[in-house]
Structure 1
Amino acid sequence: MSVAPPPAGGFALQFDTVIVGGGAGGMVAALTSAEQGRSCLILERDAVQAGSTALSAGLIPAAGTRMQANAGIKDSPSAFAVDIQTKARGEADGAVVKALCAQSGPTIEWLAETHDMPFSVVADFDYPGHSTRRMHGLPSRAGQELVDRLREACTRMEGIETLTEAKVTTLYAEEDGEIAGVAYTRPDGGLDRVGCGRLILACNGFGGNAEMVAMQTPEIRDALYFGHDGNQGDALVWGAGLGAATRHLDAYQGHGNVAHPHGILVTWAVMAEGGVQVNREGKRFWNESLGYSEAAREVLRQPGGEAYAIFDSRIASIARQFEDFRAAETAGAIVTADTPEALAARLGLPGPTLVQTMLGLESLKACSFGRIFDPTKRLRPPYHGVRVTGALFHTQGGLDITPEGQVKRAAGGVLPNLYAVGGAACGVSGSGDAGYLSGNGLLSAVVLGRLAGAAP
């Protein structure tokens, strides 16, 4: 990865907008840019567009949508902004938060109405940190469906060209930092150059770069990496060469409920609806209501770096709306038993301790970890359990940006025509892992992609 002066011979091809990365953020930016009448080229390093989006549940938080209104849910961008800043301890860029929240609803409705994406609200459980139900997803509740539908929309849209197996290696910049074009390698190893009026970096963060993770987020360095291997920190390398500002490089989204050793995400709905996590000793060890990002660190601190999620059939019926949960059941990761004793035997846990833990939940209203329990959601047989571990999903720090996604200079001001979206940009989670509010990743990918794509 490098930054170099423009080639003396110029560029044989020129596009108004070039986008590095063909995940959700990149494709939304392309759709929006093409709507403005701009020619657009997506350069995707993989043979098929997927990215980290395809590994997620594909849920996008949005406030004030008609989908919420139809479900009887009251919400507003200002309430959403308060939730983000509360979780992030006020560390997120207020202007970026305001812009993302204001445009979240219009972006979801645009995808639904213009690009025929049947979003609906997850209306049967609450995500930690959200004061109302605002997570929007497609029917499968899987990120792969979101990627597939966006890819189809880009194929239909006039003015968008996509090259796959095209790995960008060099940004060409003028002395003032204006991007003139990029170089990328073809599958045969050859090198091509293309010029651009503006460049949008949608190549995510650095979760796949073990050296960068160890340096910036050492507490999660030994966790299972559940993101895309292509997230190598390219945007940060190019940014350094351009004098770009960065922010919150220690921020990341973890997840403490990945079926182990199967490597399948188990939705946090199992915790939100009354489930608990226990360690190898059969004991609870933290407040599961805080969120799934900080859960990764808590689980990894337990013996063997693992835990066991315990829930019941009522909760399982809610979780089955997610494709990943159904896959975990099919893989045999989730076991079922009629009694706590039998469940302990199936999970290989000490029976008396697990029985004591589960019996203790029967009348518990609050616990020493600070969790408040809903008495209407007591666990009832048959019970379910799954062995889980903590994972790193994606980094949340990145290039510092304006509310439109334009990259800032470390010395002040902005780079003339460089934008960053999704994991390439600093998100709205503040520092560390505890500031991550459910959906922050796709919020900054999809909504920021829309804002950057529409920017002058």
Structure 2
Amino acid sequence: MTGMKPTIRRAEHMPAAAQDSHVPVAIVGGGACGLTAALLLHDLGVDCAVLERDATPTGSSALSSGFIPAPATQVQRDLGIADSPERFAADIGAKAKGRAAPHLVQAYARAIGPALDALQQRHGLQWQVLDGFLYPGHSVRRMHAVPEKTGVGLMGRLANAAAAADIPLVTDAAVRELWADDTGLVIGVGYERPDGTLEHLSCDAAILACNGFGGNAAMVRELLPEMRDALFAGHTGNDGSAVAWGRALGARLADLGGYQGHGSWAIPQGALISWALMMEGGIQVNALGRRFHDETEGYSEASVHVLAQPGGVAWNVFDAPILALARGFPDFVDAEAAGAVKHCDSVQALAAVIGCDEAALAATLAGQGPYPRPAARPLQAPFCAVKVTGALFHTQGGLDIDAQCRVLDTAGRPFPNLLAAGGAARGVSGDAVWGYLSGNGLLSAVAGGFIAAHTAAHQLRSTTGTTP
């Protein structure tokens, strides 16, 4: 790719050839958000095309754990788990301390269950509810995963479903241009091919399901300065295109201080270590062998705590029962195979691995210090340790949207036919790192894609009087 900048072009100058290549709905981005929107549009009888910058649809979704929180799904009901959108919304709001957008909290909490059920019933995605532990901030077991329990597995199944539905998926197509008139009506897109050529596609509506801005160092310095020096562990497609287009169109931005960090990024392997280990009694210690935060508060805010430690590193410490749990996650198995897990048969050996004072570490393991964990059993030898740092995974702020995922201008009015969800839009984590409830990223992607599809279908029916 030549790296052309995201641009807004005037509608009257759009190449005439683009009119020969037309689709009712153009979806920018082939991650979980874009593919969910495409599958639901297919169910609603609306033709669409997905434009994906990479050779295969992966994006931030493939780098995630692949776990999606949802209440009142068929799988939950089959397991006898009592949950509701209202309870889920309360958990989201509590984690964000009331600073998440109420209209989106309610909309996403109501939509995510039907979205997962539709993907299962109509497109064959099989969900299972993770058992044995609760992620921080969730009051019931509601974390759903495909059998692979990975983001790669989730994306593979969504892509296979899209292929089975004959949904056009144009890969190696990095959208660089939105063509819009003076009212903000989007009439088409221009996308760059690997050889640098531009192709165009006209449309009746556009869904931005593309990215956040975590991979754009200049935007991070400007909009998210507290993470300006953090390692970015997200997808390179998070280049801020949606923010750039929004600014050029006069869209309103919101919750730019919100993001998902993670305090458990294994180094030097570059692998995510599941926070389930912390929730089951694992601890984080710094280079001095001391705990420095309450791990049960959440892995997102843990990123800031870890980065504040000497050298910006910490060690995840756990024992054999927790190791057995961890080996149920394929990502952990891969990290262990890569050498991320150090096995120690005693406190002395563990202190040697960490490079800390044995007595200080022994005191920490005995529960001494300012962060007691009364509900957790004491860790016992043999121990395991993983060296980690804090990382920025994806931003949670972006284009302001209403409950129908319509992009809003600076006066709060919706653009005629421009929708956004997932990383392109504000999420439900508020404007700070501690507002991120586990799974909020994929919640925004899948629930947002579901809502955006219904909104686009309704808009097209209103415009044409018929279903496209």
What is the TM-score of this pair, normalised by structure 2? 0.93
1:347–1:386 CA contact under 8 A, matched in 2: no
Q: Distance in 1 between matches of 2:356 and 2:412?
A: 57
Q: Does 1:191 align with 2:193?
A: no
Partners of 1:187 and 1:328 in 2: CA distance = 32
Contact 1:274 1:373 in 2 (8 A): no
| 1:22 corresponds to | 30
State the alpha-carbon separation in 2 of the partners of residues 295 and 215 from structure 1.
Answer: 22
1:16 and 1:335 map into 2 onto residues whose CA distance is 54
Q: Is 1:242 matched up with 2:243?
A: no
What's the offset of the Cα at 1:138? 1.2
Aligned pairs for 1:210-249 (under 5 A) are: 210-249=217-256
Report the counterpart of residue 205 of structure 1 in structure 2: 212
- Within the candidate set 73, 77, 96, 1:69 is matched to 77
1:120-174 CA-to-partner distances (Å, cap 9, x unmatched) read 111111101111111101122100001111111111113x211111111111111
Tell me what 1:341 maps to: 348
Task: Give ranges in structure 2 of 5+ residues lacking alignment.
Answer: 1-5, 459-468
What amino acid is aligned across from residue 263 of structure 2 in structure 1? G
Aligned residue among 2, 7, 10 for 1:5? 10
1:231-286 Cα offsets, whole Å, 9 max, x none, are 11100111111111110111110000111111110000111011111100001111
Structure 1 position 132 matched with structure 2 position 118: no
Residue 416 of structure 1: CA displacement? 0.6
Q: Give the secondary-structure state (helix, strand or coil) at the position aligned to 2:437.
A: coil
Matching residue of 1:259: 266
Instruction: Give the Cα–Cα distance (whole angstroms) in 1 for the partners of residues 233 and 38 of structure 2.
Output: 26
Is this contact kept in 2: 1:171–1:181, CA < 8 A? yes
Residue in structure 2 matching 1:118, options 122, 126, 132? 126
Aligned counterpart for 2:359 among listed residues 352, 370, 373:
352
Cα deviation, residue 184, structure 1: 1.1
> Does the CA-based 8 Å contact 1:71-1:123 persist in structure 2?
no
Q: Distance in 2 between matches of 1:312 and 1:404?
A: 47
Structure 1 residues 39-438: aligned runs within 5 Å: 39-158=47-166, 160-360=167-367, 368-369=370-371, 372-375=373-376, 377-438=377-438
CA distance in 2, matches of 1:349, 1:324: 28
Give the secondary-structure state (helix, strand or coil) at the position aligned to 1:373.
Answer: coil
Encode CA deviations 1:68-97: one digit per residue, 9 max, x unaligned.
Answer: 233332111101000101111111111111
| Local SS of the residue matching 2:328 | coil
Q: TM-score, normalised by structure 1?
A: 0.96
Q: How many angstroms apart in 2 are the aligned matches of 1:178 and 1:109?
A: 33
- String of CA shifts for 1:185-224, please: whole Å, max 9, x gaps: 2223221111101000011100100111111111111111
Q: Deviations over 1:342-397 (max 9, x none)?
A: 22223333222111211236xxxxx634x54315x332222111111000000000
- Per-residue CA distance 1:407-445 (angstroms, 9 max, x = gap): 011123100100111010100000110000000000000
Give the CA deviation at 1:48: 1.2
Q: Describe the SS at the equivalent of 1:410.
A: coil
Distance 1:234 1:195, change over 3 A: same
Distance, in Å, in 1 between the alignment partners of 2:110 and 2:213 is 28
Tell me the distance in 2 between the aligned counterparts of 1:322 and 1:56: 13
Q: Residue 364 of structure 1 aligns with which residue? A: none
CA distance in 1, matches of 2:424, 2:204: 20
User: Aligned partners of 1:331, 1:100: CA distance in 2, in Å?
Assistant: 37
Structure-2 separation of matches of 1:306 and 1:295: 11
Query: 1:278-335 deviations in whole A, cap 9, x for unaligned?
Result: 1000011111111000000000000000001111111111122211111111111111
- The separation in 2 between residues aligned to 1:351 and 1:259, in whole angstroms, is 23
Is the CA contact 1:16–1:39 (under 8 Å) kept in the aligned structure 2? yes
Partner Cα separation in structure 2 for residue 105 and residue 185 of structure 1: 36
Aligned residue pair count:
448
- Matched position secondary structure for 1:103: helix
- CA separation in 2, counterparts of 1:193 and 1:331? 43
Partner amino acid, structure 2, of 1:5: R
Contact 2:367 2:378 in 1 (8 A): no
Whether the 8 Å CA contact 2:289–2:354 is kept in 1: the answer is no
1:104 CA displacement: 1.4
Q: CA deviation at 1:178?
A: 0.6
Alignment partner of 1:11: what SS?
helix
8 Å contact from structure 2 (residues 287, 354) kept in 1: no
The one-letter code of the counterpart of 2:8 is V
Identity %: 48
Q: Contact 1:12/1:193 (CA < 8 Å) preserved in 2?
A: no
User: Quick one: distance in 2 between partners of 1:327 and 1:302?
Assistant: 27
Q: Which residue of 1 aligns with 2:46?
A: 38
Q: SS at 1:289's partner residue? A: helix
Q: 1:270 is paired with a residue of what secondary structure?
A: helix
